[in-house]
Structure 1
């Protein structure tokens, strides 16, 4: 009887495991054979060429290989998946003689599986896998060659044309101690500096505060989150003191409008016919007087009788101003920041509606 109960318990356990849609995966060659990993990133953007990276840092190569080896097989090919878009990563692990050890594809969309070439079933992923892959991507991305630097500090902007100064700050930033995943500290609500590095391949945006420096490498150049030290902050302050700051002047505006009878998104830059309106509207908003909240848009939001406009002004990739505007039958609000409301006038509404025409 005891033996029968044990067998029933084992059978139940196996049934429950199978019900989770996962099972143990076939064993792969040992991690010691993996000497490097070549990564091809295919973004879900039309006509964009794949980004190719190579990582030869042995500890990370082995950790990624071991993590993929331990991923369970998906046993339910018909499980429901989301319809989200995202990139896919081709990961080619090679041996010392450049011979391919395994080739895998990680899909950052749908059910986010990993597909290993030669295996008939997909493998399931978890948040730890994607955190590790992000770390690998940051480490594999090459250091950027920087041409100049833009700063936003205390509401004013400055452009540093010295490639030497800009490159020195970038090099110092990526040499800071990296912030590990799961760091318990919270970032500053308002960063002391917003930064943009200009490279031949585009811009890299970031922030610097008393504790952290962050840089979006966009999988094109080295970036990440780092702990700030006194020497680095002194370097930032020295560059800032020598810079010529001036009031911000937007060179780009993203407009998003949604409402009962409208849904649109547009981009305006200095070459657009609406560039003068962009400049006038930015100046107008910064000069509108503050006011206390006088109405609530919640009821009109629930009844879907509200038009919402989002304005995001930037200069040199720096975030100058973001404004949320609500237009309802009984309530209109202009919010240029959290907990901040300004009093619009007729000139403001005329300029805004010219953009939304």
Structure 2
């Protein structure tokens, strides 16, 4: 297998300008809705249509296990990943509540959980968890490509189903360690800048986690030459699937709402693999995980929310989807001055 990525169209300047022109004719002072107006224009440029469509929303939560948990880098055992999949399937997790509230479709996808498939969860398992990247590469080239393709295919499925907005999340014990190591390999970041407490580590556990990441990154930096190789070396199956889903969605003109730290690191990988993927991304929130701010700055991202969250599961993306839909509906439903019979601003000479 070799890395073959779908072609991503340019953002539409024509639709961007048309959207801005329409917004400026709505019954409000120009620019008075601030970032909602920026969002509306971005949606039109991504979808190549004015007004944008925002009614049909889908959440993809990719799940996988990580061999690095053998190094005791998490406060929770690896079995929690599979247990949480059962919770998702039963409708009892935070993302289930938020999906119901936002009226979105929730698809949980097992890309590499180290347990038997769960009824109610899409089974696209590549392998039963990654290898322990403290000692060897987490994934082979073929496994990484398989996981990437899972994400691309599910984004294409969303396009076929006429999904308007795609929200991305993840689940996997140990994946903040993988994301932090990946961020270090992709950049010059030091472990103390990006390795955080994850599921709630003590100070001593945090220092241990940082030491594990530092040693692993030093080991793999000797041979890693490309972002794809970095993903193979220390990434996760769910992280690779997230990368693929962003690229597939961008190729399909579907705006993507990016959740927290892990999904943002996946966005950085997607950007390195194909820079135009960045154009389709809307960043949901700034999480409490240490490396998230660093990753957001690298992507020049200004998230919509800052609520002190660090749950994952796509929870921040689901919350941000309300603002994204609001932006689209302002452009679609708000009256213009002419339609409402409201007088427009007068240009007055005060000299």
Which TM-score tier does this pair reach, normalised by the shorter chain?
under 0.3
TM-score (norm 1): 0.22
Q: Which has the higher contact order (CA 8 A, sep 6+)?
A: 2
- Is the strand fraction higher in 1 or 2? 1
TM-score (norm 2): 0.22
